[in-house]
Structure 1
Amino acid sequence: MTSTVTLGLPFVEAAQAQKHVTVNEAFQRLDALTQMTLAGTGASVPPVAPGEGEVHAVGAGASGAWFGFDGALALYQNGGWDSVTPVAGWRAWDAEAGAIVTFDGVEWVPGLIALSGAGAAFAHRTADVLHSVGGGPVSTVTAALPDGALVLGVSLRVVSSIGGASSFDLGVSGAATRFAMGVSSAAGATAATIRDVPQVYPGGGDIVLTAKGGSFNGTGQVWLAIHLAELTPPRA
């Protein structure tokens, strides 16, 4: 064997000259793959100006300097790209998506909690959206709730003060206070409550902010975070 099984760290050979080159190469790979951060997942074309130690999970149809890297990790070191084969169970921080992802042997899955032998997954994730509050009694965040996911709750932070109403409720059409009620419209106000009865929204759905003590005047922004549990079926 010329390298380790899992991380592919090169071994120093007996009577090898310039041993430091091999050792430093191993350190570089160890530094990149341990506590790994992925610059992105699914791309098939290398970035124009990668940084030393940058790692990408390559998608299908890889081309250019990534040709033949389909499904592999592309590690940039010493001015070139190196292909690394991931092992099922490896975890990384996906900087592009802002989520922890786990390699299940085929693809990188965000928020993976449990996985069956056939590839069926149970995952938790959080999706967020920056919403500019419109004018009127209700401001709608269109299609914010994904189809088929179990919504555990929606949290928020008021980024900039919302004008025209001293407070607001957070919910859905027909249930205006489902996620929060009486949230202050002042910048910095927050709400974060886990629903006692999580709910699935077939076909997805909108989130609505309902003004209290007046109507919104079209100013202010809120960050909304939708906290979800999702199921994926076994692979074909």
Structure 2
Amino acid sequence: MTPNLALPYIAAAQAQKHVTHNEALDRIDGLVQLSVKDRDLTAPPAIPTEGDRYIVATGATGAWAGWDGDVAMLSGGAWVRLPAREGWRVWVEDEAMLLVRTAGAWIALEAALGLVKQSTDVTLALSPNGAATRLTVAEETLTNLAGPTVTSSIVIPARAIALCVSTRTTSAITGATSYDCGIIGSPAKFGGSLGTAAGASNLGIIWPEAFWADTPIVLTANGGDFTGGAVRIAIHAFEFTAPD
């Protein structure tokens, strides 16, 4: 067997050389540009398709027993074990995620390389014991605006540092001639006299400010009550996690 991919060698004076050669081709076909269907199954699926590959989950049974963490490939109607090696990279189709094999486990590429993943909650700094500094964004569309004020269900989290609340009018506002975006006690904290036409937007940037309790966003109508329309809001903030 070759040292890295465990491909079978053709022995000198070997009969049926094509068998060994084809086995090697099958393994190369399964490993090059490696992509698996799933990584959560402990037993083979009921109706697999030739060439399907899976990362075998912990506690495997049946034809996959003892293959935990390895790649199982259906070849010639039978399951073939491809033992995972350090540094392998694999695309997981049902999660749209790239994993890397390191220290005997499959972990996300961004975690393995210390990259920042685009998400609504991104960890920017992490201590060995779990203390973290995170950048977060929460978004909500407030529809069918009515009355003098409208309050969001999303909040600036307690013990977070807010940087901005941005807004976009997604459906023309009626009743009011403009609106303010803020919080209780400071109605225009993130912007005043904002536009009511569809497409109007604002970046309500403030000096970094700590909020000690969950704080919803309040839209306040100017020139009359809200009678319709929709505004999408987004809260941009830093959050923190204490060490374990």
Q: Could you say whether these structures have the same fold, taking a TM-score greater than 0.5 normalized by the shorter chain as the test?
A: yes
Alignment of 1:144 with 2:148, yes or no, is no
Identity of aligned residues (%): 28
Alignment of 1:176 with 2:187, yes or no, is yes
User: Which aligned runs of 4 or more in structure 1 are off by greater than 6 angstroms?
Assistant: 1-4, 91-94
Q: Which residue of 2 aligns with 1:103?
A: none
Q: Which residue of 2 aligns with 1:48?
A: none
The equivalences for 1:61-72 within 5 A come to none
Alignment of 1:193 with 2:193, yes or no, is no
The equivalences for 1:29-68 within 5 A come to 29=34
Alignment of 1:166 with 2:177, yes or no, is yes
Q: Which residue of 2 aligns with 1:49?
A: none
SS in 1 for 2:193: strand
> Do the aligned partners of residues 76 and 137 (structure 1) sit closer, same or farther apart at CA in structure 2, a change above 3 Å counting?
closer
Q: TM-score normalized by structure 2? A: 0.61
Q: Which residue of 1 aligns with 2:222?
A: 212
Give 1:22's aligned amino acid: R
CA RMSD in angstroms, aligned pairs only: 4.2
Q: Which residue of 1 aligns with 2:138?
A: 127
Question: How much does 1:2 deviate?
Answer: 8.0
Hey, what's the Cα distance between the residues in 2 that align with 1:20 and 1:135? 67
The equivalences for 1:222-233 within 5 A come to 222-233=231-242
After superposition, what is the alpha-carbon deviation per residue over 1:95-140, rounded to whole angstroms, capped at 9, x for unaligned?
Answer: xxx717xxxxxxxxx4111111222111112111111253221111
After superposition, what is the alpha-carbon deviation per residue over 1:25-69, rounded to whole angstroms, capped at 9, x for unaligned?
Answer: 22343x67xxxxxx9xxx99xxxxxxx99x99x9xxxxxx9xx88
Give 1:126's aligned amino acid: V
Hey, what's the Cα distance between the residues in 2 that align with 1:3 and 1:212? 74
Give 1:89's aligned amino acid: A
Hey, what's the Cα distance between the residues in 1 that align with 2:138 and 2:114? 19
SS in 2 for 1:193: strand
Give 1:184's aligned amino acid: G
The structure number with the bigger radius of gyration is: 2
> How many matched pairs?
187
SS in 1 for 2:29: helix
Structure 2 segments unaligned to the other structure (5+ residues): 11-19, 42-50, 58-63, 70-89, 95-100
> Do the aligned partners of residues 22 and 187 (structure 1) sit closer, same or farther apart at CA in structure 2, a change above 3 Å counting?
same
Hey, what's the Cα distance between the residues in 2 that align with 1:178 and 1:201? 13
Question: How much does 1:23 deviate?
Answer: 2.6
Give 1:203's aligned amino acid: A
> Do the aligned partners of residues 12 and 138 (structure 1) sit closer, same or farther apart at CA in structure 2, a change above 3 Å counting?
same
Hey, what's the Cα distance between the residues in 1 that align with 2:167 and 2:161? 18
> Do the aligned partners of residues 166 and 117 (structure 1) sit closer, same or farther apart at CA in structure 2, a change above 3 Å counting?
same
Give 2:26's aligned amino acid: V
Hey, what's the Cα distance between the residues in 1 that align with 2:33 and 2:130? 32
Q: TM-score normalized by structure 1? A: 0.63
Alignment of 1:86 with 2:86, yes or no, is no
Contact preservation (8 Å) 1:133, 1:139 = no
Question: How much does 1:144 deviate?
Answer: 2.2
SS in 1 for 2:239: strand
Hey, what's the Cα distance between the residues in 2 that align with 1:3 and 1:134? 67
